[in-house]
Amino acid sequence: MDARSKILETATKLFATHGYDSTSLSLVAKDASVSKALIFWHFENKENLYEAVLARTIEPYRIEPERIAGQSVPDQVEHLIDLYYEFVTENVHSVRFFLSLFLRDDKRPDDFFSRVLDLYKHYRELLAGALRAGQEAGIFSPEIEPEAHSALILSSLNGILVQALTGETDVASPERLVKGLKASLVDRLRVQ
Amino acid sequence: MDARSKILETATKLFATHGYDSTSLSLVAKDASVSKALIFWHFENKENLYEAVLARTIEPYRIEPERIAGQSVPDQVEHLIDLYYEFVTENVHSVRFFLSLFLRDDKRPDDFFSRVLDLYKHYRELLAGALRAGQEAGIFSPEIEPEAHSALILSSLNGILVQALTGETDVASPERLVKGLKASLVDRLRVQ
DNA sequence: GTCTATATACAGATAGAC
DNA sequence: GTCTATCTGTATATAGAC
């Protein structure tokens, strides 16, 4: 790997675990086995390096249309839940990173935030659409409001994932909680 | 207020918003209108100050038995949910602080963490107990497992609260989500 | 207890050789 | 492109006067 990529990779790991301020360029240089001066040659200053790291980190944050198409209406809801869950578990480190950015008064470039929020909103709308389609097909109870209920499902899912992210043991496993979520928040809404 | 308390109060605010590393003692001194040397005289070093701040912050984290006693069994579940919600909204700043500590590889003194976790566990057990009592009284469906379901309720609640903590607008309000949570995760479990 | 002045270390950043 | 050496600011921490 070339030096530039090595720096970027090392910095990504360090920024994500220690945050912006607590990550010194001396440490990045040492871990990447390059001189501090080389970091400045490639990225000009610490902030530019940070932005390059953010750009690299957010890269996989997108919805692939082919993955959500083609299901029968009732299965779509559970499938969307699975997709969300899979995405977060596949990107634990960066999700944890972004969540901690949301919580801190840290360096938080607004364009990255709005991109994460847009993605979240998109997901919620897909979920609401599937719920509404299910209602219209007479599968789900007409009592629920699709928008409100999709927000609740995502919130619950986030809660489960935060629990997994913070490494709380001794509670039920994430998989089991998601199963319970589907049972209570999806299956129980079916018209008998 | 005496200088020591002033320092403690100022440091609490600053550590919570900027974190350990990003909070300089020069800033604490300036904001508290004292000299830097006085901080060292009172707290010896930065880490000791931080621990004093943590001890002060965690102080309100306890369950008051009188607040959960005396309800009729079915109402207990919703009451516990309300208590949890109220506690978090009354302590937003420190909850956000602790959550960000859980997410970062920061300074994380294990005894404080285990105290937060114990409290959480206690809450979950109270909730499971209420659910079980409701089942035995024939009010809640025998289908659910109290332990698993109380974990799900708390996870969902956490998800709603994290959303509020991260300041995500444009989604449903926390109050509305909690109402939906109660409807789907509590009321729908009642035997008709 | 509270201050000013200072020691020491390390941060981000630059100069210039190769 | 990559390095060593160095500048400058600011951090934690100490010494010592009052």
Question: pLDDT tens digits, residue range B104-113?
Answer: 866 677 788 8
CA angle, residues A133, A139, A140, in degrees to nearest 5: 80
Is A109 a residue whose pLDDT tops 80? no
Class in CATH terms, B65-189: mainly alpha
User: Domain A3-58 classified CATH 1.10.3720.10?
Assistant: no
How far from A165 is each of A22, A55, B103, CA to CA, in Å?
A: 21, 22, 7
Euclidean distance between CA atoms A82 and A179, whole angstroms = 10
Sketch the domain layout of chain B as residue ranges: 3-58, 65-189
Which pLDDT tens digit goes with each residue over A155-171? Answer: 999 999 999 998 877 78
Chain A span 105-164 residues with beta carbon within 7 Å of strand D:
none
Which pLDDT tens digit goes with each residue over B25-75? Answer: 999 999 999 999 999 999 999 999 999 999 999 999 998 888 877 777 778
Euclidean distance between CA atoms B17 and B33, whole angstroms = 19
Higher pLDDT, B36 or B17: B36
Q: Which residues 118-157 in chain B show a CB within 8 A of chain A?
A: 120-121, 124, 147-149, 151-152, 154-157
Residue A104 near residue B18 (C-beta atoms within 8 A): yes
In this prediction, residue B74 carries a pLDDT of: 73
Higher pLDDT, B192 or B126: B126
Average pLDDT of the segment spanning A114-142:
94
In this prediction, residue A71 carries a pLDDT of: 76
Distance A37 CA to D7 C1' (A): 14
- Name the band, by pLDDT with cuts 50, 70 and 90, for residue A30: very high
Is A32 a residue whose pLDDT tops 70? yes
User: With an 8 Å Cβ cutoff, is B171 touching chain A?
Assistant: yes
For chain B, give the mean pLDDT.
92
Is B118 a residue whose pLDDT tops 80? yes
B140 strand-pairing partners: B190
Euclidean distance between CA atoms A129 and A127, whole angstroms = 5
Distance A4 CA to D4 C1' (A): 20
Chain-chain contact of B22 with A18 (C-beta, under 8 angstroms)? no
CA angle, residues A115, A20, A57, in degrees to nearest 5: 35
Euclidean distance between CA atoms A140 and A136, whole angstroms = 8
In this prediction, residue A106 carries a pLDDT of: 67
